[in-house]
């Protein structure tokens, strides 16, 4: 077996959807097995089946003791292939909204009085697995199609570092899956020019406006030089991806421009994927 993925995260954050996507990508998927049984199951599959890719869904229905012994389970699984942990997370208010809409009980609802308490307790229970996670995905604003795109970006090239450049708006919340966050809200804002407001950072009028600012050019140079210096170190550490998030107020002009410019500067040396998180909000 060449690759094993452990898919876990907060209930309601999209674990089942992620497993469906992985199944479409050719992974043999198993869901909701107790952690303690995983090494035995994987060993049997490895002996009796010619599997290249295996995805295992894990959640808090495993016992607390199993969760605490996750490092031991992880080391046993490594005997059968490269192991990555995908951890899905979602903001608390969005989780509450999803459970209210679906009317399904939280897996911990029989043990705690409120949904909010279930969510907080689940985070604590999952900490031993979260610490091992090599792929973090924030599904707060993502559809199933968005999730598939992110999984393809983060898993598509196992032996090559993928640089994911993400623009976002601070007023919509900081991305939970970012490795680095750069704040560009201090740069001149095209939003206050009525002629530029309707455009995005991908459009020439906004690009010309921002390129005329020395402060914008200095900020871009600093971010670019930082990435040029440190991306090789992450690649040498066998990281599969690096998510760099650039934020402005609304996620339409300044952050989009910096992401687009970074993409053009980096793609000669690196595999680059771009996500504009707030595109649905653009006027």
Same domain, 196 and 149: no
| N residues, the chain | 283
Q: Is 12 annotated as a binding residue?
A: yes
Q: Which of 135, 155, 175 is the last residue of a domain?
A: 155
Distance CA 160, CA 195 (A): 42
103 — phi, psi (to 5°)? 60, 25
Number of domains within the chain: 2
SS3 272: strand
pLDDT of 30 higher than 60: yes
Domain final residue pick, 108, 137, 155: 155
Kindly list the distances between the CA atom of residue 109 and the CA atoms of 65, 70, 112, 114, in Å, as whole numbers in the listed order. 19, 23, 5, 7
Q: How far apart are CA 49 and CA 66, in angstroms?
A: 26
If asked whether residues 212 and 149 sit together in one domain, one would say no
Contact partners, residue 32, CB within 8 Å, separation at least 6: 57, 58, 59, 61
Are 91 and 169 members of one domain? no
60 marked ligand binding residue? yes
Q: Is 244 annotated as a binding residue?
A: no
135 belongs to an annotated ligand binding site: no
Q: Tell me, yes or no, whether 12 and 126 share the same domain.
A: yes
Q: Which domain holds residue 24?
A: 3-155
Is the same domain home to 45 and 147?
yes
Q: Is 138 annotated among the ligand-binding residues?
A: no
239 vs 159, higher pLDDT: 239
Say whether 24 counts as a known binding-site residue: no
Please check if 14 is assigned to a binding site: yes
- CB-based contact 1:83 (threshold 8 Å): no
Of 151, 12, 147, residue with least CA distance to 92: 12
Reported as a single tens digit per residue, the pLDDT across 104-152 is: 888 888 888 899 999 999 999 899 899 889 889 999 988 888 888 788 7
**pLDDT recorded at residue 156:** 58
Residues 188 and 86 in one domain: no
- Rounded to the nearest 10°, the torsion over CA 26, 28, 31, 35 is -130
Same domain? 97 vs 191: no
Q: Choose between 242 and 207: higher pLDDT.
A: 207
């Amino acid at each position: 077996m060449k690759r094993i993925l452990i898919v876990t995260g907060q209930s309601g954050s999209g674990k089942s959807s992620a497993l469906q996507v992985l199944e479409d990508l050719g992974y043999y998927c198993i869901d909701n097995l107790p952690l303690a049984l995983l090494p035995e199951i994987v060993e049997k599959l490895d002996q009796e089946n010619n599997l290249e890719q295996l995805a295992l869904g894990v959640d808090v229905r495993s016992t607390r003791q199993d969760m605490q012994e996750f490092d031991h389970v992880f080391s046993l699984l490594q005997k059968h292939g490269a192991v990555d942990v995908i951890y899905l997370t979602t903001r608390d208010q969005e989780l509450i909204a999803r459970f209210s809409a679906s009317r399904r009980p939280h897996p911990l609802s029989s043990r705690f009085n409120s949904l909010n308490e279930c969510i907080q307790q689940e985070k604590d229970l999952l900490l031993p697995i979260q610490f091992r996670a090599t792929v973090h995905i924030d599904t707060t604003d993502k559809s199933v199609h968005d999730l598939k795109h992110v999984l393809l970006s983060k898993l598509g090239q196992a032996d090559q570092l993928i640089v994911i450049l993400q623009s976002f708006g601070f007023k919509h919340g900081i991305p939970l899956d970012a490795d680095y966050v750069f704040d560009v809200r201090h740069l001149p804002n095209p939003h206050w020019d009525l002629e530029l407001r309707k455009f995005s950072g991908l459009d020439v009028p906004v690009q010309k406006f921002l390129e005329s600012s020395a402060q914008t050019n200095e900020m871009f140079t600093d971010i670019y030089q930082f990435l040029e210096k440190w991306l090789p170190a992450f690649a040498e550490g066998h990281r599969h991806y690096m998510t760099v998030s650039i934020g402005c107020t609304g996620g339409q002009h300044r952050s989009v421009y910096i992401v687009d410019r970074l993409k053009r500067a980096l793609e000669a040396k690196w595999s680059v994927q771009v996500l504009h998180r707030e595109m649905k909000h653009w006027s």
